[in-house]
Amino acid sequence: MKSVVTTAYRPTDGSRKKAEEVSSELAIPFIERNKRSVEKLHEVLGSDVLVAAKERLEFYPLGISEPFFFHPNSSAFRTKRLIANDPLIEVSGLQAGDSFVDCTLGMASDSIVASQWIGEEGIVVGCEAHETIAYVIKKGLALYDKMPHLIDAMRRIQVIHTKAVDYLTSQPDDSVDVVYMDPMFTEEIVEASNFVPIRATANTSQLTDAWVEQAIRIARKSVVLKAHFRSTDFEKFGFQRRIRPNTKFHYGVINCQQQKAPE
Ligand X SMILES: C[S@@+](CC[C@H](N)C(=O)[O-])C[C@H]1O[C@@H](n2cnc3c(N)ncnc32)[C@H](O)[C@@H]1O
Positions touching ligand X (CB under 6 A) are: 103-104, 106-110, 127-130, 133, 163-164, 182-184, 202-203, 205
Q: What is the DSSP letter of 177?
A: E
- Report, in Å, the least distance between residue 104 CB and ligand X: 3
- Report, in Å, the least distance between residue 92 CB and ligand X: 13
Residue 6 or 214 having the CB closest to ligand X: 214
Residue 15 or 109 having the CB closest to ligand X: 109
* Cβ atoms of 83 and 113 closer than 8 Å: yes
Radius of gyration of the CA atoms of the chain, in A:
19
**Residues recorded for the chain:** 263
Residue 15 or 104 having the CB closest to ligand X: 104
- Report, in Å, the least distance between residue 108 CB and ligand X: 6
Residue 41 or 129 having the CB closest to ligand X: 129
- Of 181, 169, 197, 176, the C-alpha closest to 249 is 181
- Report, in Å, the least distance between residue 145 CB and ligand X: 19
Nearest-CB residue to ligand X? 106
The contacts of residue 109 (CB under 8 Å, 6+ apart) are: 72, 73, 74, 75, 78
